[in-house]
Amino acid sequence: MKKEISVIGVMSGTSLDGLDLCHCTFSFTDNKWCFKIDAAQTIKYQYNDQIKLQNANNLTAENFLLFHNSFGEYISLKLNEFISMYNLNPDFIASHGHTIFHQPEKKFTFQIGSGAVIAANTGVDTISDFRSLDVALAGQGAPLVPIGDQLLFPEYDFCLNLGGFANISTLENGKRVAWDICPVNIAINHYMKFLNQDFDNFGLTAQTGNLNISLLEKLNNIPFFKKDKPKSLGKEWLMKEFIPIIEGYNISIHDKLNTIYHCAAQQIAKNINKKDVKILTTGGGAYNKYLISLIEKQSRNSLIIPTTELVDFKEAVIFAFLGVLFSIKETNTLHSVTGAKRNSIGGCLYYGSK
């Protein structure tokens, strides 16, 4: 393997914050993986783009494939601008795309943003479709980030990501395990739209609401929260299992938000279930002071929030790293995390040049 491998990680999360591009350099020295972020940028989605991504699951098969390619063209355009702006020369691109369907119990998952289109339009080798092989092996196809937690951030007891959904990874009996916990930003942003806002800045809106104990109890009794790991969440579950319970209550948006926050904090605390541990906390929710305060109170732990760059781009960094592992034919998906039949090397490679 090369002494250093440079990769652009591409990530679009379920909270629809925007498209994350992160150029990283990885090296393996003294039996340890190291990385540095050379350049990073988030391209915020325009409102129309958000609506298209939100509603892509309702498209006809033909229009869905057209959108898969057009979103790949959009990613390519932003990548070419990014590469030019920072004068980059990546060895390859590792693109997660944007999850539209995730139903591992039915043996499928789909992330749009065609890797073939990205490779063709950028001229750079592109690795994409990281989840499908694990699902084919009877796994959840998620979370995939834990291999990066294990190899890039071994000094932490837990790695907590507060994105569209909260997920966490840790070591149990010497094995890395991880699972999705509950909705966070995807549910918060859903209700902020009713207030003509994209997100709840610092949790100030939810903080003005009142906790509804009855609603909280019903949310906490959702069957998913009692399931054993491995387990993962998708938008389909949110709209079928979570939102309808909230809509059964004739209370203000502020009260709904406040109750969602308390549910998230309680579920996250329940899944940590230890005091005085080191918890690396990243994702957009790490900026939400009200949410962080509730999690710290419920879990009786202080969350460790790293640099802004790592908070914003940790998932893009790790998908870049999954691409590195793919390129050297090393395991990048852990069956101890996903419940698959075996470890695997997930991804598809499209050559950008001859």
Q: How far apart (Å, rounded) are the C-alpha atoms in residues 127 and 290?
A: 38
Predicted TM-score (pTM) of the model is: 0.92
> Pairing state of beta strands 126-128 and 92-103?
parallel
The structure tokens listed for 13 are: 């999360």
Burial of 6 (0-12, 13-18, 19+ CB in 10 A): middle
Give the pLDDT of residue 354: 67
Q: What is the pLDDT of residues 243-291, one digit of tens each?
A: 999 999 999 999 999 999 999 999 999 999 888 999 999 999 999 999 9
Measured in degrees and rounded to the nearest 5, phi and psi for residue 154 equal: -70, -15
Contact yes or no for 46/19 (Cβ under 8 A): no
Q: What's the maximum distance between 2 C-alpha atoms anywhere in the chain?
A: 62
Using the CB atoms, write b or e for 245-268: b if 16+ within 10 Å. Answer: ebeeeeeeebbbbbbbbbbbbbbb
Nearest Cα neighbor of 346 from 129, 99, 156, 137 is 129
Give the pLDDT of residue 76: 98
Q: How far apart (Å, rounded) are the C-alpha atoms in residues 310 and 262?
A: 26
CATH fold label, 157-303: Nucleotidyltransferase; domain 5 (3.30.420)
Instruction: Sketch the domain layout of the chain as residue ranges.
Output: 4-142+314-350, 157-303
Give the pLDDT of residue 14: 82
Q: How far apart (Å, rounded) are the C-alpha atoms in residues 158 and 343?
A: 21
Q: What is the pLDDT of residues 216-229, one digit of tens each?
A: 999 999 999 999 99
Helices and strands, counts by H and E, the chain: 15, 11
Nearest Cα neighbor of 265 from 153, 145, 351, 183 is 183
Q: If you write DSSP's letter for every residue of 201-260 in order, what string do you get?
A: GGGHHHHTS---HHHHHHHHT-HHHHSPSS----HHHIIIIIHHHHHTS---HHHHHHHH
Listed as ranges, residues in the chain with pLDDT below 70 are 354
Contact yes or no for 35/18 (Cβ under 8 A): no
Give the pLDDT of residue 17: 84
What residues have CB less than 8 Å from 137, skipping those under 6 apart? 335, 340, 341, 342, 344
Q: What is the average pLDDT score of the chain? A: 96
Give the pLDDT of residue 16: 86
- The beta-strand segments (E) located in 60-215 are 92-103, 108-112, 126-128, 158-162, 165-172, 175-183
Rounded percentage of the chain residues whose pLDDT exceeds 90: 95
The answer to whether domain 4-142+314-350 has CATH 1.10.340.30 is no
